[in-house]
Structure 1
């Protein structure tokens, strides 16, 4: 396996096909990469307000109205979460298959094809695989965390020596618990790259894909391990480069959004009017570029693992 060639081809694919410039950021957004929110408070904060010595009149608190509003907000939040997760899985499967068809058939990726390829029954296999892994992982993690915290029960005694011993043991076990989660998480992240693709590209059933994914990784540890290490190095490099990029974008955003926003506030004494300028401009100059770059990098990583999967799958099953 030519790992460097795969990385170069993945970079060229990411930069060459503009449909991926849309699909990637969308997938990055619904996958939890970037989220923004704004809550405005109506009012006029300025010199027109004067304290008259009396407490301001506050509206009467109505528990029923508050509960109704809370239920509505929770319902809307749940609907938004479900819709975003559906879009996430559809895009994941669609991008996997679009990149696969590009490599094997020369089919040009399109936005419509990305959604069309992902809107299929096989996409539910991704959901099933994630739940089959996540639920046991969370249960085991919580049980081990409880065991790691068990030495703290020594603090119930009146012995200072036992108290100190319990704290030291709990800290040591907690660090071991974190290390265990880190190692298992890394192993699962690699395995998922293969059983996800076996499910939506090779069209294997949920459990068959997971079983064959484990076999593929176990039989090709060398090639997969080298690619994983290369991607870790690239991730570190991207993180280092991201700091100055974020600083530059933050500075530009502060100048373009913060400066005029403060001027608007100085002239109108209205926080709402200044936010009407600052928030959209901040999204345009800071959030959108970061979302775009994050989406491109997500496509690059996906294409790398797609190429690795295709090469290993073809020599193992074809």
Structure 2
């Protein structure tokens, strides 16, 4: 596998085929959305609000509904953008026309299966991780036994804590390795879904089969992208920190001057939102490159992939 050639080709595709930027932008903006919403919703209740519980309850329900709708939108746009990027890169390599309209068509046609891949891998993984973490903490049950006697109880308590720490460390290592393997299977499954037209379950099974048959070459792809991800993160992090600092600092100054949270939040958002969009566009170009590199690698592993439908 010619990694250097693939890197140059992926960079060329990401830079010159700018229809990919839009979907890369959506992926950068919404792909890391889980858990990020709600941090900007700060509200200070005054004394009069305590006498209007129905108003406060309505506000909580409204904010919760908005967060739910935003999370669902993020899931849909993330899956659609991933599928669009994969299919558009395939069309470029096959000499097919590549437009934003084609990207929408490809993304929508595989939307259900792409979301299905995330659900079929994410939900079982979360359940297994939770059970393993609980299992690792099980030696702490010795603390209940140790409450009966003094000397023997203290020894059991210390033993339980030590065993729990060791088991949790082992579980964390296992989860990291398992998460890495699962992420590789999912990347391959995405491409089998879009390029081979497979359903979610079949694409996951095929991704696992492809990983086992090409572990060394896929490991090379992953290592290169890991280094590039670290480099990209180091480049982008100062921009995000500067943006948060500027929005928060100006908002704090407005709050000190007006002593009201609403204008402070609005001013902070006026600074933060445009800056976030600009940074997401820059990250989107990298996301387009990243997806192209994975797709080119998949084409090397599975030659003869048909044009995306």
TM range (shorter): 0.7 to 0.9
Q: Are 1:210 and 2:204 matched, yes or no?
A: yes
- The partner residue of 1:300 within 285, 289, 294 is 289
- Who is 2:175 aligned against? 181
- The partner residue of 2:101 within 112, 116, 121 is 112
C-alpha displacement of 1:95: 1.7
- Alpha-carbon RMSD across the aligned residues, in angstroms, is 3.0
Per the alignment, in what secondary structure is the counterpart of residue 105 of structure 1?
coil
C-alpha distance 315-247 of structure 1, shift in aligned 2 (>3 A): same
Per the alignment, in what secondary structure is the counterpart of residue 303 of structure 2?
helix
- Who is 1:144 aligned against? 132
Please give the residue correspondences for 1:264-303 in structure 2 after superposition, counting only pairs within 5 Å: 266=257, 272-273=262-263, 275-285=265-275, 287-303=276-292
Q: Distance in 2 between matches of 1:316 and 1:82?
A: 31
In structure 1, the gaps of 5 or more residues are: 44-55
- Who is 1:53 aligned against? none
C-alpha displacement of 1:213: 1.8
- Who is 1:103 aligned against? 93
Deviations 1:1-58 (A, max 9, x none): 1011111111121121222222211122222257686447699xxxxxxxxxxxx963
Q: Is the 8 A contact 1:195 1:210 kept in 2?
A: yes
- Who is 1:124 aligned against? 112
- Who is 2:229 aligned against? 235
Q: Distance in 2 between matches of 1:59 and 1:274?
A: 20
Answer with 1 or 2: which has the greater Rg: 1
Q: Is the 8 A contact 2:299 2:305 kept in 1?
A: no
C-alpha displacement of 1:80: 2.5
Tell me the number of residue pairs that the alignment of Structure 1 and Structure 2 aligns. 298
C-alpha displacement of 1:270: 5.9
Q: Is the 8 A contact 1:42 1:272 kept in 2?
A: no
Q: Is the 8 A contact 1:265 1:273 kept in 2?
A: no
Per the alignment, in what secondary structure is the counterpart of residue 201 of structure 1?
helix
- Who is 1:83 aligned against? 73
Per the alignment, in what secondary structure is the counterpart of residue 58 of structure 1?
helix
Q: Is the 8 A contact 1:95 1:114 kept in 2?
A: yes
Q: Distance in 2 between matches of 1:312 and 1:57?
A: 65
Q: Distance in 2 between matches of 1:203 and 1:240?
A: 37
In structure 2, the gaps of 5 or more residues are: 148-152
Q: Are 1:18 and 2:18 matched, yes or no?
A: yes
C-alpha displacement of 1:87: 2.0
Q: Distance in 1 between matches of 2:47 and 2:75?
A: 44
TM (normalized to structure 1)? 0.81
- Who is 1:29 aligned against? 29
C-alpha distance 211-60 of structure 1, shift in aligned 2 (>3 A): closer
- Who is 2:150 aligned against? none
Q: Distance in 1 between matches of 2:234 and 2:244?
A: 16
C-alpha distance 154-114 of structure 1, shift in aligned 2 (>3 A): same
